Structure 1
Amino acid sequence: MSVTPAQAATAQCPVASKAEAKRSYKAMGDTPPRGADAIKGVRVGYIPTGFSGGQVVVNKHHGVAEYGYQWTDKRSDTDPKARSLWVRVVCWPKAGKLSQLKNAPFDLGTFSGDTKQATLGGRKVLTMQGDGALGTGLLVGWVERKGTVVTVMASQPLVGDLDKIVAGIRL
């Protein structure tokens, strides 16, 4: 049996189990939230304290599989002190260069605005200020390896922690 380049690229990319996809589609939350191993195959080595809940986020579309976890607190999304952290792995076979993130087929957390390149946590990343759909804060993303993209959305109160958050993510 031969493996296509697309299959080979995504074979190393963490994907959600059927049970996790079911939890996501039913919007089932976790109280208290999960910890460093919230996303199977991904370790988030630094998670700021103070989160009261969390939820698995799974989405498949346009040949892309997205798998992540969102940590939140009890404040409303409109509260400027609200704390939210979303770490997502995207299995996108075409991903190979940082510049491609501007045209990535993501449903949410797209790099469609004014993007900048930066170095966070020792990684070259693309950054963009969060928009209304994701709240205020900073969206960052990078190509971890061919076919695998990681994005992190940190609400405004957590932007100062992004260097430690990004440095602590391991696939």
Structure 2
Amino acid sequence: MNKIQKLAVLSALPVAAALMALPAQAAERPACPMPTKAEVKRSSDTKVDQPPRGAAAIKGVRVNHIPKGFTYGGVVVNKHHGITEYGYQWGDDRPNADPKQRSLWVRVVCWPKASELAQLKNGPFDMGTFSGDTRTVKIGGRQVLTQEGDGALGDGRYAGWVEREGVVVTVMASRPLVPELAKIINGIKL
């Protein structure tokens, strides 16, 4: 083997090692972000965070764009019918009837049967169902199902998508935050 061949082989080794590590890294990533026992307890005790948590409020999820102006937040966990709903709600001190009230809810749903966007219309969610007049649109670089928020979710826009098989993400942004919805959705990383 000449010097050039040796250099070519040596320079390929780091690339080969990195490629071999990819399946191991994928195996390390959990299929779906799951709440810890402490988070389940915080949710059932309705603990409030003042000030609210930031980008890593949901373990295994990064919310890279959180609008300003929130004064409190809280973890929300719900387990039922073989699924786990795990999220965080940010809010301010304005009453719900105030049109300037700011709230944001980001949720991950571990639903093993989820594989395509159309399934969200019949999703087994306790809160935040896609039961209204839904549309499929592209927001924040993602194909999402969206609808106007109803009374249970508040005024604003509700959006959801299948991040990968078995993992659904939903976002509810109150009316004052709708202009930032694309940045919010684009900034969510699992």
Bin the TM-score by the shorter chain. over 0.9
Letter paired with 1:39:
I
How far residue 78 of structure 1 moved from its aligned partner, in angstroms, is 1.5
| Equivalent residue in structure 2 for 1:28, among 25, 47, 62 | 47
Q: Secondary structure at the match of 1:29?
A: coil
Unaligned runs of 5+ in 2: 1-26
Report which of the two has the higher share of helix: 2
Instruction: Give the whole-Å Cα distance in 2 for the aligned partners of 1:86 and 1:27.
Output: 15
**Residues 107-122 of structure 1 aligned to structure 2 (within 5 Å):** 107-122=126-141
Question: Greater relative contact order: 1 or 2 (C-alpha under 8 angstroms, separation 6 or more)?
Answer: 1
1:3 equivalent in structure 2: none
2:21 equivalent in structure 1: none
**Residues 12-161 of structure 1 aligned to structure 2 (within 5 Å):** 12-161=31-180
Instruction: Give the whole-Å Cα distance in 2 for the aligned partners of 1:85 and 1:49.
Output: 11
Instruction: Give the whole-Å Cα distance in 2 for the aligned partners of 1:61 and 1:114.
Output: 25
Q: Secondary structure at the match of 1:164?
A: helix
Instruction: Give the whole-Å Cα distance in 2 for the aligned partners of 1:156 and 1:121.
Output: 17
How many residue pairs get aligned? The number is 162
Give the alignment's TM-score, normalised by structure 1. 0.93
How far residue 162 of structure 1 moved from its aligned partner, in angstroms, is 0.3
How far residue 151 of structure 1 moved from its aligned partner, in angstroms, is 0.1
Letter paired with 2:111:
W
Unaligned runs of 5+ in 1: 1-7
Q: Secondary structure at the match of 2:93?
A: coil
Report which of the two has the higher share of strand: 1
2:22 equivalent in structure 1: none
Instruction: Give the whole-Å Cα distance in 1 for the aligned partners of 2:49 and 2:159.
Output: 25
* Structure 1 segments (4+ residues) deviating >6 Å: none
Instruction: Give the whole-Å Cα distance in 1 for the aligned partners of 2:107 and 2:61.
Output: 9
Instruction: Give the whole-Å Cα distance in 1 for the aligned partners of 2:96 and 2:74.
Output: 15
Instruction: Give the whole-Å Cα distance in 1 for the aligned partners of 2:184 and 2:34.
Output: 21
Which one has the largest radius of gyration? 2
